[in-house]
Structure 1
């Protein structure tokens, strides 16, 4: 599954304010609630699930990327958001590098297989240094969506 199919322009944060990993997760969850992509009644459940996941091992996978994710028994469809940080976020990443791209998603518990497919697709996409470069240079949400959908030029200077 392509990440772009889970996102709309209002699910992209061009310049996150948070500088540490749990505040970054809270910032993105709040944005999902503000845009109506996540019911406010699920805030506590989702934050607790994401926090529990982070306590196991950081979802900062390296390459300046973090993929915080969790399950919810009370969600009917995937809720996802993409955040970019120009300054970088201390996400306690596996490679100790600051995180510039955060893909947060919450999957309905009934769709466990979708979680694995989505996680694998995101991780694979972000190992590509050209995609990361294009995302860091993108000037608007539409450009980011195009890159995530594989529509951006591979030879952009």
Structure 2
């Protein structure tokens, strides 16, 4: 399975500007709402924030992988964001997060959701990949980097 198969270039946000967890989630969801008019973005943010209450998705090493399931979604959606300044996402290592991979999945596709989360985790464990991700100049460079993972 390649993560690149679940990505779309318009869902790569290289310059997140929000400085709060809820702000970042709203910013990440926004392009999905534009692409999928049936998506209630306010509801999606509530689902993600409810998931965060169970335990942070800020896993450390500047990484957060917020995720949630939505019943009216037809396919898995992955949004990639980067915050040059970093955001307090209540990460396990108490450091700001700069790398965000948001995963939204249909309620009925649990197995695929878990495989994608596992693939993201594997890719982001590589320090060199994280450095290249943060050094990429723009959407185009991020897109090329993410196509092979």
State the TM-score, normalized to the length of structure 2: 0.93
Distance 1:63 1:148 in 2: 18
Matched, 1:22 2:19: no
Unaligned runs of 5+ residues in structure 1 are 152-157
1:2 and 1:148 in contact (8 A); partners too: no
Unaligned runs of 5+ residues in structure 2 are none
Residue 3 (structure 1) shift: 2.3
1:95-152 superposed Cα distances (whole Å, 9 cap, x missing partner)? 111111111111011110011101111011101000000011111212212222337x
Distance 1:95 1:2 in 2: 28
RMSD (CA atoms): 1.4
1:9-28 superposed Cα distances (whole Å, 9 cap, x missing partner)? 21111110011211100111
Distance 2:88 2:70 in 1: 26
SS at match of 1:4: helix
2:77 and 2:105 in contact (8 A); partners too: yes
Distance 1:138 1:19 in 2: 21
1:18-40 superposed Cα distances (whole Å, 9 cap, x missing partner)? 11211100111112213x1x335
Corresponding residue of 1:154: none
Matched, 1:81 2:79: yes
Which of 60, 64, 80 aligns to 1:66? It is 64
Greater shift in the superposed pair: 14-23 or 42-51: 42-51
Distance 1:41 1:125 in 2: 28
2:33 and 2:39 in contact (8 A); partners too: no
Distance 2:142 2:15 in 1: 12
Moved segments of 4+, more than 4 Å: none
Distance 1:24 1:44 in 2: 13
